[in-house]
Structure 1
Amino acid sequence: MIKFILRRLGISSLVLLGGSVLMFVLTINSGDPLADLRESNDPNRDSLIAQRINNMGLDDPWYERYGAWLAGVGRCVVGSCDLGVNRAGIPVIDLLGNAAAATLRLVILSTLLAIVIGIGIGILTAIRQYSGFDYIVTFFAFMMYSLPVFWAAVLLKEYGAIRFNDWIVSPDLALWQIALVALVLAVVIAGALGGDARRRLLTGGATFLFVFAAMFYFDAVDWYRQPALGIGVVAVASIGAALLIVMLSSGLGNKNVLYAALTTVGAGIVSYFVFSSQLGEPTWGVLFGLFAVAIVIAVLSGALWGGYSRTMAIWVSVATATVMSLVIVVDQALSAWAGYLGSVRNGRPISTIGAETPNYDGTFWQEFLDKGTQLLLPTILLTLVSVASYSRYTRSSMLEVLEQDYVRTARSKGLSERVVITKHAFRNALIPITTIVAFDFAGLIGGAVLTETVFGWKGMGELFRTGLVQVDPAPVMAFFLVTGTAAVVMNMLADIAYAFLDPRIRR
């Protein structure tokens, strides 16, 4: 494996080198970098032209300019990267840092959500092949996949920001609106869980009643402006997540794993009270420190309770601790929502442009909400587009695996459908999905140009577009360096994941 990785790194380095030469030559020959100044009537035009020629090195041959850039990249090995300056004389490394930070915030969250949701939906549609649920998901998947991104972004800005901001000033839902939402969720959940007509009716009816009652209560107590979860909801949600994770992994019959997960939840509830003051106004360092403590507790819980299923118990406990940590973060953020509404943009929380509110000064959780609301709409857009492809690929891969002989053998041995799906079919179905994830993430690192443009994000896509328009190779080459390296690294991780998913590949 080490020899394989080193060989791939060597080949990838040569590919990146050749690609960088081609990218540099194409960029500098795509137009005139002095065109705007030649047409200017500024009395200092000649000095401005001379300054730009000096900044961009236009008097030097192209290979000397490329060599200077490559030498600056080579200094990254010793921690002193020099990617040159743009035509205005601003260091590109500073522009790249800001652009990469904005894009990574957007890409990582949307990719993780798309993977989890898309793969989950794909598995359900494969299991419920040719059912009504399968047809509905297929319809919406193809619709989302074919939607023009700019049009969907405009719709999100209209209904997810402008109209929502108008509604949140005095939130009120009519009974027919509450009933409609409850009915849609009831139909979706009943179709996803499947079963005979009686089971679907009971599932749908229970879902309808629960959602209708919850939304009616929220509307009555003005929950939409003053939301809160509290330790009760946190505990119930965490216990539910623990039971679901145990059911999908080892089954509720494995008491060792079940007790490990529930012990992790119990320790989390105690920690909620012990660290309440730190959670009220934390820093990012405190949050990550508390999360590390939660993981350590989860590992100890799994090791103590695991017995013969120790490895499984540890992984289940870690997953439970992660979910519970996210629920606690949501609880703390919701508790700051009312104060945030009163401190930002005249009570209009969802912004239609930009990555954060300029010069916003609030508490930690209010600033968390500010960045989160700015991130909301572009994340939803990218997630919807990616979920469509992930769900289709997963469905196709699962259907192919479910027809294999070893799956029929597992069923004939009397294994439960849960074991057949999670331990035999799903792991092998992930192999082609791994390739799609690697390419998708590496592509999105380059910046969702249309999405960033519509929502006014100054990310990698904006950096690349500006460099091309201005015939400025420095930002373009910085873009190429990051995206090319990301493509190499993600494909390398995909190869390693293949070996983990299928031990035969290691040989």
Structure 2
Amino acid sequence: MLKYTLKRLGSTVLVLFLASILVFFLTVHSGDPLADLRESNDPDAPFEMEQRIYHMQLDQPWYTRYWGWLQGVLGCFRLSCDFGTNREGQDLNPILMQAAEDSLRLVFIATIASIVLGILIGILTAIRQYSVFDYSVSFIVFLFFSLPTFWAAVLAKDYLAIYFNDWMQEGAEFSWGQLLLISGVMAVVVPLIAGGSAMRRLVTGAVVGLFSAGALWYFDSAQFALYPRVGALGVILLSFGLAVGLTALIAGLKNRQVLYTALTVAALSIVSYYATWNLLQDPPGGWFFLGALFVLTIVICVVIARTMGGYAKGQATSVAVLTGVLSSALILLDHFMYHWPNMMSLKPRPISTIGSHTRRFTEDDVTWWQVNLDLLTQLWIPTVILMLISLATYTRYTRSSMLEVARQDYIRTARAKGASERTVVLKHAFRNALIPLATIVAFDFAGLIGGTVVLERIFNWNGMGQLFVTALQQVDPAPVMGFMIITGFVAVLFNFFADILYAVLDPRIRV
């Protein structure tokens, strides 16, 4: 495995090196970087031309300029990266760091959301092949896939930002028409997913519709949109619900050792909710501190699972880690909800349509939670658009992979031996269906990076796409190379992870 990993890592470095040479050569020969100054009547134009020639080293051949750029980038191995300067002589390091942070944050969140939702929906449609649910999902996901990005962004600005902000300012109350519409949609959609006989669907729809109407009425009465909370009771109920549900899904409730392990993790999550409440009001170190707590959570879950799991340590570890991670996410969500009214006091219209962050939310008197709530609200619309575009790919590939695997002999053998449908779907079929999906994830991530160029233009983000387009128009190779090396590194890194995942899912690939 080590030899295979080093071999793939070497090919990754080679691809990046060759791509950098090609992109630099094409950029420097794509136009005249002095064209605007040659046509200018400004008396300072000759001086500005000399300055630009100096900053861009236009008096040197392209390969000398490339070698100087490469030496600066290779300094990253010594933790002293130097991406050069733009044509105005500004240091690119802070500019690239801010642009990369905005763009990659958007792409990562959209990718993870589309992968999770796409795989879940794909599995459900494969299990319910040729059902009304299958046909409905296929129609909807292909409709999203065919939407032009710029048109979808304009619609999202209206319905997910402007109208939402108006609704929040009007008191965030549902009208009876909206309440009945949402309840009716839930009463139709949930029975389609659940399936069963006509009577079962009718009963399920009635129960879901009444429950949805009651829940919306309660949230409306409690002004949940303005003062949201999961609360201690919600964390307790949902944590134990996750423990039981994940055990039933992965191991089965008859496996008591796994169930007791999951319940223990849920109980510890509730204890940590109270123990860390005051500490998380102003987390020291921000996301680094929360990341350390996240890693600590995984370690504790693994130790508990290996101690209490017995003969089912593998399943106990999966259930414990998922329970701990999702319970931690609930706790984090509750803290965000707790600080939502404070953020609304500074920003009564929370969803903005311009920029990646609100300028006044970078001041010292704004709390860490308010700053990150602002960043999340700014991410809301672009993330939804990117996610919906990618959702069709993951859904259809998961469905086709699951259906192809379901026809294999070992699946029929597993059913003939008496394995439960849960074991057949998750343990035997899903793992093998992941192999082609690993390739799609790697390529789709690179495609999403390209898609952000359009979205950043529409939402006026100063991200990697905006930086790339501006630099290309100005024939400025340093920002273009910065865009290429960062986005290219991430895209190639995803391909590298896909190669490693192949070897994990199918050991024959290592040979």
Coarse TM-score class (shorter-chain normalised): over 0.9
5 Å-filtered alignment, 1:456-467, equals 456-467=460-471
- Are residue 268 (structure 1) and residue 269 (structure 2) matched? yes
| Match in the other structure for 1:161 | 161
| Match in the other structure for 1:455 | 459
The one-letter amino acid of 1:291's match is F
| Match in the other structure for 1:468 | 472
| Match in the other structure for 2:380 | 376
CA contact (8 A) 1:103 1:447 kept: no
Structure 1 residues 280, 71: CA separation in 2 closer, same or farther (over 3 Å shift)? closer
Structure 1 residues 234, 403: CA separation in 2 closer, same or farther (over 3 Å shift)? same
- Are residue 117 (structure 1) and residue 117 (structure 2) matched? yes
| Match in the other structure for 2:86 | 86
| Match in the other structure for 2:95 | 95
**Runs of 4+ that moved beyond 6 A:** none
> Could you tell me how far apart the structure 2 residues matched to 1:279 and 1:78 are?
35
Query: 1:447 Cα shift?
Result: 6.1
The one-letter amino acid of 1:482's match is I
> Could you tell me how far apart the structure 1 residues matched to 2:45 and 2:309 are?
75
5 Å-filtered alignment, 1:72-221, equals 72-170=72-170, 171-221=172-222
- Are residue 423 (structure 1) and residue 424 (structure 2) matched? no
Deviations 1:403-449, CA, capped at 9 Å, x for gaps: 11111111122211111100111000000000111122234345611
The one-letter amino acid of 1:382's match is L
| Match in the other structure for 2:260 | 259
| Match in the other structure for 2:409 | 405
Paired residues, number: 505
CA contact (8 A) 2:12 2:496 kept: no
Structure 1 residues 10, 229: CA separation in 2 closer, same or farther (over 3 Å shift)? closer
Query: 1:2 Cα shift?
Result: 3.0
> Could you tell me how far apart the structure 2 residues matched to 1:364 and 1:67 are?
42
Query: 1:221 Cα shift?
Result: 2.2
The one-letter amino acid of 2:158's match is E
Name the Cα RMSD after superposition: 1.7
- Are residue 481 (structure 1) and residue 485 (structure 2) matched? yes
For 1:321, which of 302, 312, 324 is the aligned residue? 324
3-state SS of 2:41 partner: coil
> Could you tell me how far apart the structure 2 residues matched to 1:337 and 1:279 are?
15
Q: Normalized against structure 2, the TM-score is what? A: 0.95
- Are residue 494 (structure 1) and residue 495 (structure 2) matched? no
Q: Normalized against structure 1, the TM-score is what? A: 0.96
Structure 1 residues 286, 208: CA separation in 2 closer, same or farther (over 3 Å shift)? same
CA contact (8 A) 1:122 1:390 kept: yes
Deviations 1:137-172, CA, capped at 9 Å, x for gaps: 000111111100011011111111111111101222
The one-letter amino acid of 1:223's match is F
CA contact (8 A) 1:447 1:462 kept: no
Choose 225-234 or 149-158, whichever is displaced more: 225-234
Structure 1 residues 217, 225: CA separation in 2 closer, same or farther (over 3 Å shift)? same
Percentage of matched positions with identical amino acids: 52
- Are residue 281 (structure 1) and residue 286 (structure 2) matched? no
CA contact (8 A) 1:149 1:450 kept: yes
CA contact (8 A) 1:356 1:374 kept: yes
For 1:340, which of 339, 343, 351 is the aligned residue? 343
> Could you tell me how far apart the structure 2 residues matched to 1:293 and 1:15 are?
36
The one-letter amino acid of 1:235's match is I
Structure 1 residues 41, 76: CA separation in 2 closer, same or farther (over 3 Å shift)? same
Structure 1 residue runs of 5 or longer lacking an equivalent are none
Query: 1:35 Cα shift?
Result: 1.6
5 Å-filtered alignment, 1:12-23, equals 12-23=12-23
> Could you tell me how far apart the structure 2 residues matched to 1:206 and 1:264 are?
32
3-state SS of 1:432 partner: helix
- Are residue 301 (structure 1) and residue 304 (structure 2) matched? yes
| Match in the other structure for 2:63 | 63
> Could you tell me how far apart the structure 2 residues matched to 1:287 and 1:11 are?
35
3-state SS of 1:88 partner: coil
CA contact (8 A) 2:55 2:89 kept: yes
Deviations 1:64-111, CA, capped at 9 Å, x for gaps: 111211222222222222221110111222222111111121111111
The one-letter amino acid of 2:334's match is D
CA contact (8 A) 2:239 2:269 kept: no
> Could you tell me how far apart the structure 1 residues matched to 2:10 and 2:225 are?
55
CA contact (8 A) 1:126 1:395 kept: yes
CA contact (8 A) 2:386 2:448 kept: no
Choose 253-262 or 169-178, whichever is displaced more: 169-178
> Could you tell me how far apart the structure 1 residues matched to 2:341 and 2:9 are?
51
> Could you tell me how far apart the structure 2 residues matched to 1:500 and 1:82 are?
36
